[in-house]
Structure 1
Amino acid sequence: MGLISEVLLLPFAPVRASGWAVRQVLREAERIYYDPATVRAELARLEEQLEAGEITEEEFDRREDELLDRLETALGSGTSTGNGTGS
């Protein structure tokens, strides 16, 4: 049955390969998005923008909350940077 199903599904191989590629890109994007080092760097840039007067206190608070939520999610899920600096 396995051989027959493979032969019948062969025309769909490009679609399956595209789906795999999309999943890999999504996985890498999520890894970078939730990387604690990336989030900390964004927090530092955000603070610099506030000190330079580029954003308001309200904007700072809103974006800081979003970044802290991302950091909490990353640390809670055990995501690491792969270089020993993560949890």
Structure 2
Amino acid sequence: MRQGKVAEPVGAMVIPAQRGGVLFAVGGLNGELYVNGQALTGQWAEELRKHVPELSSDLDRLQAMRAEWLDSPPQDRTLALAGACTDRNCHTTH
């Protein structure tokens, strides 16, 4: 996919797809949620769905989280990201 850099990351989560591909989510101090190197806008989420359709439900959860964060960023994004993934193969920072 794409690679990017978040200046001040806070919390990260990696969600692998069974047939290849991965979602790498990073929470920024500005309340934004970056996935695979870009802010998780609607357009970017649709592009990601084309590449990893089996992770659509994870993208839905991440988009909901992004909307909440933009309204009121949590102080501890590490725990927020860790609780967002329900896949047993999900790798999160603890």
Taking structure 1 as the reference length, the TM-score comes to 0.35
More strand by share: 2
Taking structure 2 as the reference length, the TM-score comes to 0.33
More helix by share: 1
